[in-house]
Structure 1
Amino acid sequence: MKRTRVTIKDIAKELNVSASTVSRALQDHPALKQQTKDAVRELAEKLNYRPNTMALNFLKQTSTTIAIIVPDITGYFFSAAVTGIQDILVSSGYNIMICISNESYEEESRIVEKLSKVQIAGILVAPSSTTFNFDHIKKIQRNNIPLVIFDRDCEGVDAHKVLVDDYSGAFEAVEYLIKTGCKKIAHITGASDLSTNNHRLQGYLDALKKNNLPILDKYIIYAQGFTHEHGIKPTESLLKSNNVPDAIFAVNDRLAVSAMRTAKKLNFRIPEDISIIGFDDEPHSTYFTPALSTVWQPVYSMGMLSARILLGDIKRKEDENLQLRYEVFKTELVIRGTSKKL
């Protein structure tokens, strides 16, 4: 059976009044008799009438909907960031629309194109790993839609940005491995044009340079994605080579966990034969044996701050100059069982 939504016209027809009268009654217009208002409200409640928020926003040329564009929502990182964003926006009276790009530049561009055609209060975006052209992001700005870029940078785009100090987190992790006696440290990374990957790679490289350890191309392996499955082949290629590393620093926890499982299948002892450190500190990291050493980053706080900055921009007066915010959160190295103790 087809479900139909009750409209203002339905209420008006039932009461034999105009649609504008119903609309004004629902908004408690002072010019209407209280008897008319009561009759309209009583029938609206009986028919389970719910206002069309998007239509009202269109008429008022305002919106209470904010879009969040993220590459993925199945893992801990972006779900935690979205939760932080939601906790701020919903408590401030806004609705959120979660849009998932699935790590696709094309899908991300399509999402932005669709959002540009509807009334939207603001947009928060974490770019996909395949987004290297930012014309669609700049289009958001040209449409005067408040924008905050978080987690992954869009270099060259002047906008509010909330990021994490990926470089320092990676540098600290690799230097720790060196201090525990590791001298052949491999790095499993991802797409070379993604800002977070580049910053973590540079931290890895600089830690080796500072400690006078050689940089070997064969120890830098590029995974085809960020899931557990994507870490198997890179780890196998490292552990089945003629010059096996004594440590692996992975660009995220999922690849690190995959490296752990693969190493165990190949009969490597962790951390006696090989140390492993990840990046993210996902909740499940503590439930493995041994528990995963990793780099913690304040994801929830990053989401909350991103939302607060966006709200500040939305509420900014038209004649008030825009002061762009560039915020960088610090990370923390968390040592558990997959790396040797100092």
Structure 2
Amino acid sequence: MKKNRVTITDIARELNISPSTVSRALKDHPALKRETKDAVKALAEKWDYQPNLLALSLLNRKSNTIGVIVPEITSHFFSAIITGIQDVVGKSDYNIMICLSNESYEEELILVKKLLNMQIDGVLVSPSSETDDFDHFRKLQKNGIPVVVFDRDCPGLEADKVLVDDYSGAFQAVEYLIDRGCKNIAHLGGPLNLSTTGHRLNGYLDALRKNNMPIRREHIVHVPGFSHKDGIKPAKKLFQLDNPPDAIFAMNDNIAISAMHVAKKMGLKIPEEISILGFDDEPHSSFFTPTLSTVWQPVYSIGMLSARILLSHLKNKDNQLKFRKEIFKPELVIRNSSK
């Protein structure tokens, strides 16, 4: 048999019928005789015929593919979201294509352009930490491609959004530290462009204000990224202050663990001399010594709901659905790194 990919034309030639008849037989067209359909399907199975999805997408102007743009994939956070997306999309007629922006606005622009050229059907996106202009997402929408934004907000962009109440999570975390007697609470914040950074910073500030605690600007230090190494220098900066903190609320668990590492290197006891609290509840957070107190958010559910909303648009293209904004509530998880 041919070493090249089997086509409908190959099957048609072998059975001495037209390619259109083969196509209809594979779709179980009711107008064809049962013996014709059985012969076509049997030969297709014998020769391991696989439909050319690219050709079908060009013909139907529909790729049956959903693009998922994420900043990275190595953390539990985004891998869990992608799992939630796949568990929903996998039960539909659509496939997913995962695209990494690597926290780069320029790479994100290139990815959107490629998805447009591929005639993608819909896009799920968590924007990069550099992204503060959303015209490339509007371009998708202008081309009839629905967009659902998840985790990181795109202020001013009219689209479906699935987010977490970062403000509430941060407020709970800082108020908990205050209730446990912490007097000088510092914040290791995220990159300034991100909506999550602003919401968590505001939660931190409002918790201090509500409890009449001093706000010291030197106690607020922003990290350049989200990996363990990104938190080392900012944490050292806090501990080397003339008035060092007795507690740190960190942007995420990786940064909190960086602060724990620096504190131990400097001989500080956790939580007796310094309480540390993170955000995300990554699985590894409960395996450090001491175990990390943190803020849990339902990342798997974020992925599932985002996918369901996008599929609802794809199934109801004739009836324009209103944009949805769904916000999940986070929960405080207390372990041993805080008083």
User: How many angstroms does 1:94 deviate by?
Assistant: 2.1
Q: Is the 8 A contact 1:189 1:223 kept in 2?
A: yes
1:256 maps to a residue whose letter is: A
Secondary structure at the aligned position of 1:91 is classed as: coil
Secondary structure at the aligned position of 1:66 is classed as: strand
- What does residue 330 of structure 1 align with? 329
Secondary structure at the aligned position of 1:263 is classed as: helix
- What does residue 97 of structure 1 align with? 97
Question: How high is the TM-score relative to the length of structure 1?
Answer: 0.94
| Match status 1:206 vs 2:196 | no
Secondary structure at the aligned position of 1:116 is classed as: helix
Mapped to 2, the partners of 1:145 and 1:215 lie a distance apart of 45
- Pairwise mapping of residues 2-21 of structure 1 onto structure 2 (< 5 A)? 4-21=4-21
- What does residue 177 of structure 1 align with? 177
Mapped to 1, the partners of 2:81 and 2:317 lie a distance apart of 28
Mapped to 1, the partners of 2:93 and 2:156 lie a distance apart of 33
- Pairwise mapping of residues 273-284 of structure 1 onto structure 2 (< 5 A)? 273-284=273-284
Percent identity, please.
Answer: 64
1:323 maps to a residue whose letter is: K
1:333 maps to a residue whose letter is: L
Mapped to 2, the partners of 1:18 and 1:55 lie a distance apart of 18
User: How many angstroms does 1:22 deviate by?
Assistant: 2.2
Mapped to 1, the partners of 2:239 and 2:78 lie a distance apart of 31
- What does residue 127 of structure 1 align with? 127
- Pairwise mapping of residues 131-150 of structure 1 onto structure 2 (< 5 A)? 131-150=131-150
**Cα deviation code 1:277-304 (max 9, x no counterpart):** 0000111111111110000111111111
1:36 maps to a residue whose letter is: T
Secondary structure at the aligned position of 1:291 is classed as: coil
- Pairwise mapping of residues 142-291 of structure 1 onto structure 2 (< 5 A)? 142-291=142-291
Mapped to 2, the partners of 1:256 and 1:143 lie a distance apart of 42
1:103 maps to a residue whose letter is: E
1:229 maps to a residue whose letter is: K
User: How many angstroms does 1:10 deviate by?
Assistant: 2.6
User: How many angstroms does 1:321 deviate by?
Assistant: 4.0
Q: Is the 8 A contact 1:188 1:255 kept in 2?
A: yes
User: How many angstroms does 1:6 deviate by?
Assistant: 1.9
User: How many angstroms does 1:31 deviate by?
Assistant: 4.0
- Pairwise mapping of residues 29-68 of structure 1 onto structure 2 (< 5 A)? 29-68=29-68
Deviates more, 1:22-31 or 1:239-248: 22-31
1:327 maps to a residue whose letter is: E
Secondary structure at the aligned position of 2:226 is classed as: coil
2:324 maps to a residue whose letter is: R
Secondary structure at the aligned position of 1:260 is classed as: helix
Once superposed, what is the RMSD of the aligned Cα atoms?
Answer: 1.7
Deviates more, 1:132-141 or 1:20-29: 20-29
Secondary structure at the aligned position of 2:338 is classed as: coil
Mapped to 1, the partners of 2:301 and 2:29 lie a distance apart of 42
What number of residue pairs does the alignment pair up? 338
Secondary structure at the aligned position of 2:335 is classed as: coil
Mapped to 1, the partners of 2:226 and 2:24 lie a distance apart of 53
Q: Is the 8 A contact 2:63 2:118 kept in 1?
A: no
User: How many angstroms does 1:317 deviate by?
Assistant: 4.8
Mapped to 2, the partners of 1:11 and 1:25 lie a distance apart of 11
Q: Is the 8 A contact 1:105 1:131 kept in 2?
A: yes
Question: How high is the TM-score relative to the length of structure 2?
Answer: 0.95
| Match status 1:22 vs 2:22 | yes
Deviates more, 1:39-48 or 1:182-191: 39-48
Q: Is the 8 A contact 2:108 2:128 kept in 1?
A: yes
User: How many angstroms does 1:52 deviate by?
Assistant: 1.6
2:223 maps to a residue whose letter is: A
2:225 maps to a residue whose letter is: G
Q: Is the 8 A contact 1:54 1:119 kept in 2?
A: no
**Cα deviation code 1:108-165 (max 9, x no counterpart):** 1111111112232211111111111111011111111121111100000111111100
**Cα deviation code 1:174-194 (max 9, x no counterpart):** 111111111111111121120
Any unmatched runs of 5+ in structure 1?
none
Deviates more, 1:115-124 or 1:99-108: 115-124
